[in-house]
Each structure stands twice: as C-alpha cells, then as structure tokens.
Structure 1
Amino acid sequence: MHAVIMAGGKGIRLRPYTTLLPKPLVPIGDRFSILDIVLGQLAHHGFERITLAIGHLGELIRSYVGDGGRWGLEIDYHTQDSELGTMGPVLELLDRLPEEFLVMNGDVLTDICYGDLLDQHLESGAPLTVATYQRQVKVDFGVLSTKDGVVVDFVEKPTVDYRVSMGVYGVSRRTLKRYTPGIPFGFDDLVLDLLARSTPPHEYPFSGYWLDIGRPDDYDRANAEFELIKENLLRGARCASW
C-alpha cells in the first residue's frame, strides 16, 4: 500500500505560521506536526511506502522525516521545481507507483480510514475515488429567485448544504497515463476531464472528523480541539470494515 503526500506548497494562506516552516510541519497540540500525525495514521492503516512530493522548504521536511523508519515506513521523495497542482507531481512519479494508490494533501487532519478508502477504490474499479465531506454555509441575507424581472421565490437567511472534496483520493495509474507530465495539472483538471469523458469519479462519503489546515482560523481551531480528538488522530480511526 502506497500513498503520495502533497507537501510542496508555500502555505501562503497560513502565514505567518508558514514563514519559516512548511505547512505540513506546523505543530499541532505543541507536540506533533501535521505530518507526524498523518504518517502515524498511514502506518496504522497498513501503508508501507510513502512518497513525499516536496518543494517550498522541502529540505526541512526531508531532514525531519528522513527515511520514515521512526513510523515503520519506507519514505522517498520527489522534488518539484515549480508548482504543478495536486496531480502534476504524481504524473512525474507514475513509474514508481503501484497500479492503485492513495494521494492526499499534506495539510489534512482527519480520522478517516485511509485503508478502507483505498480498498473501496480497488473494488469499484473507478478511475478516481474522492473522499467527500458534508459542509453547511449559513447565508446572512434574504435570498431571492427572480425570472424576467419578477421575484418568484424568497428564502430568509438559508443554510446551504453541499459536499466538498477532503483532499484525499484513491487513484489508478491507468487513469493518469493519458496526461502529460511536467505541466500544471490540478485535481479540478482531472475531475473535469473525467466527467467530459463520461468516466465519472466515485465518492467515498465521510462523516467523522475533518479539518483542512488552510487558514490561521483553521489552525487555531485544530489546536483548540486537539485534546478532544487526539486519541483518534494519533492512533488512526478504527475501520468498521476491518
């Protein structure tokens, strides 16, 4: 079982925390980095090999993680010289990857069962499996629907439900072989192309804990909640199907 972790971004939205540290190494709960937690979870769920796609301040990540022995993992690295999006670095790695593998962002805190996601991806035969999460947004305005200059509906301060990508994916090599390495290629580019080809991705719906550490508010929330959630995060979720 092989996972590719995207750890090469500049973390601009999380400044000033990422001025001197790459985002995956910012501390959570004063003892662990995000990457500490993620690597421990992947090892717990049976992953043996990890590839870290590094870029900005990547040598700090390489120095901190080393060969992965501390987590019982075999870790190698891929250095990206420019920003290539989520899937761009993976295209350059295909020859080093098995037929089915996990891809995830390096700034995700969740107690998802990574192994179960990859198992379901394998069983489905899907070109891509996307972990999704239900979010709600409260609209602080009265929302009007209009047609031909006439108001036809009105809802006062509605709550909008929608599903978002968690930044965790089951991926197949055969899906990515048609794309050109060395140019920017994002998750959005992949999904839109698969939809255009009538080969839609599958969904892995998740309702546990998930937080994308993208902004200072998210980071502060993760630290505030850490004592309540650390048991699940540090040992990894118990997978219902295992």
Structure 2
Amino acid sequence: MMKAVIQSGGMGTRLMPYTMVLPKPLMPVGSSPVLALLLRWLRRNNIREVWITTGYLGSLIRTLIGDGSQWDMQIRYTSELQPLGTVGALSLLADKLDSTFLVINGDVLTDLNLSALAAFHHSQNAVVTVGTVTRTLRMDFGVIEQSDGRITHFREKPVLSHTVSMGLYCMEPSVLRYIPSGVPFGFDDLIACMLEERVPVSAFRHDGLWLDIGRVDDFRKAQELSWDDQPPAYDTVAIAAA
C-alpha cells in the first residue's frame, strides 16, 4: 500500500487575494475544500497513510483536516520554516518514505487510477513517473516566424497543444538522494539533475479529469461540477470546459 505526500506549503499567488485568507488547498469547491476532495480520492484508491507538507497558513490546514480519522486515514504533517520549493519538502521525510510513494500537489483534482499509475511505474523500472495530460492553449498574439529579417510564416492566435505535468508523481525512495536538505528545490531542478545522471524518468498519460485549482479558469470549472461522493465523469468535464 503506497504512502502519499500532499504538497500544501505554497502561497497560492495565482489565486490572490482569496489566498490571503485561506491557503490554496482549503479553497472551497462546492461545499468542500479542495484538500478534502483530494483526500477522499486517495482513500477510494486505498491509500490510508498521508503526509501533508505545510508552510503558509499551515495551522489552518492542520485544524480543519486533523488526523484523518474522519476518512479512516492516518494524516501527519511537516512544517517548512522557509519555502522549500515544489519537492524540497520531501527531504523532511527521508526516513519515512521507504517504499514506492505518491507525491501530489495540494491543489489538484483528478480521477486518475492510482493502481494503473503504479503498475506502469513499476513496468518502466522508473525512479520517477510523472502523471501527464494534454492541454491546448490559445495564444493571445499573432505568431511570426522569420529568417534574416523577413517573415516566412504568420499564424493568427494559434491553438497550441502540449503535454503537461499534472503535479502528480509516483516515486521510489532512491529519488531522495537527489533532493538537498533545507534549501528550496523545484521539480524542474530534480528532473534536470536526474536526466543529467541518466536516471530513468517516465511519463504516464491520463485522458480523464484533471483540474489545477491554482488556475482561475480551472477553479471556476470545478465549481460547475457536482462532486458529492465521486469525481464527475470525464465527459461532463469536457462539456464544462468547452
């Protein structure tokens, strides 16, 4: 049974001024905080042991979420005295993460199947597997291609498609050797270090629901959906996103 680490130490600057009062993982989606929906999803995937990394307004998270008994889970916390970046807080758990574990940002909502992710991760013999989705972005500008000062191609506000990280990762304990202790360290730093040392990193494609509540558009979409006891069906999300 995997342990999970939920990263909840950020300041939520993209949702200011709302996050001046509430930390981003406690932003409401319907009648529940994002973090409560995330924990219910983990519990449905048979994860019972969770660490929540906290920093900014962390006392509010501890007070509201508690020890996890309401979900039949065991929840414990770490505290960042200074921001440690997107993966730096894992250094605080070096003696706790002794088998394959999940890391997920505290502002993510998804219906990803964790058993499928773990099976793919092990089949790849990866140290890190990144959950990915495809996102399309419309540029606000006309895009110019040029050569020697002459325009060779022009596209008016093109729609670009990219594979992006979900902010959800399956990891092996050996990854911790690449994360320095007590200093800010981002996931981009980690991947750059691992690729330089030719350490296996894989990508798992998810075609279902994924919302990044730190983005205003995704936060609004989440409010349009009915969460109740289960995440909404993907086709409902597709309609809402259209």
1:69-122 Cα offsets, whole Å, 9 max, x none, are: 111111111111110011100022111112210001000111112332233223
- Following superposition, the deviation at residue 153 of structure 1 comes to 2.8
Q: Distance in 2 between matches of 1:54 and 1:125?
A: 31
Which consecutive residues of structure 1, in runs of 5 or more, have no partner in the other structure? 236-242
The equivalent of 1:76 in structure 2 is: 76
Amino acid at match of 2:18: Y
The equivalent of 2:27 in structure 1 is: 26
The equivalent of 2:47 in structure 1 is: 47
The equivalent of 2:88 in structure 1 is: 88
Q: Does 1:16 align with 2:14?
A: no
Q: Distance in 1 between matches of 2:140 and 2:217?
A: 20
TM-score under structure 2 normalisation? 0.89
Q: Distance in 2 between matches of 1:68 and 1:55?
A: 19
Deviation larger for 170-179 or 51-60: 170-179
The equivalent of 1:4 in structure 2 is: 5
Q: Distance in 1 between matches of 2:75 and 2:93?
A: 14
The equivalent of 1:182 in structure 2 is: 182
Please say if residues 3 and 51 of structure 1, whose CA atoms lie closer than 8 Å, have aligned partners that are also in contact. yes
- Following superposition, the deviation at residue 200 of structure 1 comes to 4.4
Please say if residues 109 and 211 of structure 2, whose CA atoms lie closer than 8 Å, have aligned partners that are also in contact. yes
The equivalent of 2:239 in structure 1 is: none
Q: Distance in 2 between matches of 1:226 and 1:16?
A: 23
Amino acid at match of 2:123: E
- Following superposition, the deviation at residue 66 of structure 1 comes to 1.5
Please say if residues 99 and 174 of structure 1, whose CA atoms lie closer than 8 Å, have aligned partners that are also in contact. no
Deviation larger for 72-81 or 7-16: 7-16
Q: Distance in 2 between matches of 1:47 and 1:80?
A: 24
Q: Distance in 2 between matches of 1:220 and 1:178?
A: 37
Which consecutive residues of structure 2, in runs of 5 or more, have no partner in the other structure? 234-242
Q: Secondary structure at the match of 1:18?
A: helix
Q: Distance in 2 between matches of 1:154 and 1:166?
A: 31
CA RMSD of aligned residues (A): 1.9
The equivalent of 1:233 in structure 2 is: 231
The equivalent of 1:114 in structure 2 is: 114
1:138-190 Cα offsets, whole Å, 9 max, x none, are: 23444322122233333343221111111000111112214321111111101
Q: Distance in 2 between matches of 1:12 and 1:179?
A: 25
- Following superposition, the deviation at residue 220 of structure 1 comes to 2.2
The equivalent of 2:149 in structure 1 is: 149
Please say if residues 179 and 190 of structure 2, whose CA atoms lie closer than 8 Å, have aligned partners that are also in contact. no
Give runs of aligned pairs for residues 204-219 of structure 1, distance below 5 A.
Answer: 204-219=204-219
Q: Secondary structure at the match of 1:203?
A: strand
Q: Distance in 2 between matches of 1:209 and 1:81?
A: 34
The equivalent of 1:62 in structure 2 is: 62
The equivalent of 1:240 in structure 2 is: none
Please say if residues 45 and 113 of structure 2, whose CA atoms lie closer than 8 Å, have aligned partners that are also in contact. yes
Please say if residues 225 and 232 of structure 2, whose CA atoms lie closer than 8 Å, have aligned partners that are also in contact. no
Q: Distance in 1 between matches of 2:112 and 2:186?
A: 23
TM-score under structure 1 normalisation? 0.89
Please say if residues 15 and 216 of structure 1, whose CA atoms lie closer than 8 Å, have aligned partners that are also in contact. no
Q: Distance in 2 between matches of 1:221 and 1:137?
A: 16
Q: Distance in 1 between matches of 2:69 and 2:229?
A: 22
Q: Distance in 1 between matches of 2:147 and 2:230?
A: 50
Amino acid at match of 1:43: R
The equivalent of 2:237 in structure 1 is: none
The total of aligned residue pairs comes to 232
Q: Secondary structure at the match of 1:95?
A: coil
- Following superposition, the deviation at residue 215 of structure 1 comes to 3.6
